[in-house]
Structure 1
Amino acid sequence: MAARDEGAWHEGRARGMDPPALRRSEWGQDGAKSRAEMAADMVTEFAARVAAGTRLGTKDELRARCGVSVGTFNETLRLLQTRGVVTVQRGPGGGLFAAEQTPMARLAQSVLALDSAQDDVAEALRIRNALEPLLWQDALWHGSPADIKDLRALLARMEEAAGSEDAEQFVRANWHLHARVADITPSALLRSLYVNLLDLVERHAQAVLPQDGVPLGPYLRDRCGLHVELVDALENRDEKSVVRLLRVHDTVRAEEVG
């Protein structure tokens, strides 16, 4: 890495970019970010100062500079790739490289520019729901047995959280399930836009709120059952059931991200 670029990197580190870890309940409050997001912002700032194609370092080098764990940096790398900030090359001389800012990357950045105002989050949820049929349709025809196996594992996490009435863990597993469905689509544009909207909603979600008078436990189990049916329909290539179930799925209220 060039000395000038190394200096730019340490200039970012000098700004105090490694705060104490946040509890998830604190995400989205007063603009607070997770460590993975902080690390992604740090790498993004550095990548913006160098030419496209510049080698930023290996995964381990960047992780060490960000001062985060392996698991946290894996999430950071997912964010960076989704946002079109870096590309990854394998083998000798490989590592992470600054990506060219394509129209897709600029579109992702425009989503990230939205703030935590309730109107922005509700609008992101509305658009995300509008993209759901496209994602599940692609998953219907492109999903592999390995994809279905991964989705089943995430469903098991949802079922466990529903059984213990842990709304926070249920929401987390639910979003991971939807992000995994997005991984199946061959459309990079659809995947990038959807996952960035999903990230925006996730950052500012506070709770899962059933309709008035509905106990939390039955509500979570009902939502979990709906997703089990959706994955069953994917595995069976049952397009009619997927369409029917998505109509039910998208009745989720904007209040659930309030």
Structure 2
Amino acid sequence: MTSARRGRPAGRTPQLRIAETVAAELRSRILAGDEDYRLPTQEQLVQDFGVSYPSIREALRILETEGLVTVRRGNVGGAEVHRPDESSAAYHLGLALQGARVTLGDLADGLRLLEPQCARACAERADRAETVVPALTANADACAALVEDGVAFTHTAREFHDLIVSFTPNLTVRYVVSTLVALWSTQEEAWAEALTKRGEYPSADEASEVVRTHRRIVREIAAGRASEAERLYRTHLTATQALVIDRFGDGVVNAAASARSTFGSTPRTRI
């Protein structure tokens, strides 16, 4: 009995090392592949790597915990590939922030430092009239039609912020800030739902003022007035954040809520 127990960890370790090696190779393929990349079947992977089925299954479990694949079991089994995007990044960053007991007020402070710079970057784009301005204008129009519907209005108004960040040319800034924006959007939409249920959501006039501010930001971006676009955006962000911080500011970032809100969304990747 003693020797059998001692033998289990020894037998498990090589299998784990093999699985980690296979997972590393598959991870590289997923990250280097295009949007349509699909993993081979488990049978094909066994043949390709010359390893056992348990090692392949362990490798897939590793990738599943990283959010890179979803393993479907049963008659229609297989592994569905998920390329990392701001949604998955928001979840993992959210875990780190939640573990560090970071408050929503602290997250808001970080966004005020970083997000307005994306508005500046949009205003500095030479092609802003063809790419940035039409999308932002369409969003403002959509928001204007929803001022009587608090939850829908908040969701669409948050998409304005998503768009600003998504048009930021620098990829590093885009992905870092979009991750923080995704975390914040979860909290702001929770705020909207809570106040709507209580009949305390801001009035249609106040929602219309948000639309007017969004249109002013668009005009500054269209005119290429980068400093004014950044200033106006920061002022607007401070005002809208204050409404949420008043209710949730002392709360800790919730990674699980972010996962429910963002996983499965369609990422906006623009250049």
Q: How would you bin the TM-score normalised by the shorter chain?
A: 0.5 to 0.7
Match of 2:145 in 1: 160
Residue 7 (1) aligns with residue 11 (2): no
Match of 2:165 in 1: 182
Structure 1: where are the runs of 5+ without partners?
13-40, 48-55, 67-72, 86-104
Greater Rg over alpha carbons, structure: 2
Q: How many residues align?
A: 182
Relative contact order, higher structure (CA 8 A, sep 6+) = 2
SS in 2 for 1:139: helix
Match of 2:261 in 1: none
Deviation string 1:173-232 (CA, Å, 9 cap, x unpaired) is 1221111111221222211121111111122332247xxx99521111111110111011
Residue 126 (1) aligns with residue 109 (2): yes
Pair 1:247–1:129, CA change in 2 (3 A): closer
Match of 1:199 in 2: 182
| Match 1:256 to one of 235, 244, 249 | 244
Deviation string 1:20-45 (CA, Å, 9 cap, x unpaired) is xxxxxxxxxxxxxxxxxxxxx95734
Match of 2:222 in 1: 235
Q: Distance in 1 between matches of 2:180 and 2:119?
A: 16
Match of 2:203 in 1: 216
SS in 2 for 1:161: coil
Task: Please report how far the alpha carbon of residue 254 of structure 1 lies from its aligned counterpart in structure 2 after TM superposition.
Answer: 3.8
Q: Distance in 2 between matches of 1:118 and 1:227?
A: 32
SS in 1 for 2:224: coil
Match of 1:82 in 2: 86
TM-score by length of 1: 0.57
| Match 1:145 to one of 116, 121, 130 | 130
Q: Distance in 1 between matches of 2:105 and 2:170?
A: 25
Q: Distance in 2 between matches of 1:255 and 1:117?
A: 24
Q: Distance in 1 between matches of 2:201 and 2:85?
A: 40
Percent identity of equivalent pairs: 15
Pair 1:232–1:136, CA change in 2 (3 A): same
Pair 1:172–1:6, CA change in 2 (3 A): farther
Match of 2:49 in 1: none
SS in 2 for 1:203: helix
Q: Distance in 2 between matches of 1:118 and 1:43?
A: 23
Deviation string 1:126-176 (CA, Å, 9 cap, x unpaired) is 2112112211111001134122111112112211111x2x12112211221
RMSD in angstroms over aligned alpha carbons?
3.9
Counterpart contact for 2:220–2:226, Cα < 8 Å: yes
Amino acid paired to 2:57: G
Match of 2:265 in 1: none
Q: Distance in 2 between matches of 1:161 and 1:11?
A: 43
Amino acid paired to 1:113: A
Which structure is higher in helix share? 2
Counterpart contact for 1:136–1:242, Cα < 8 Å: yes
TM-score by length of 2: 0.54
Pair 1:161–1:118, CA change in 2 (3 A): farther
Pair 1:135–1:6, CA change in 2 (3 A): same
SS in 2 for 1:186: coil
Q: Distance in 2 between matches of 1:9 and 1:153?
A: 44
Amino acid paired to 1:192: Y
Runs (4+) off by over 6 Å: none
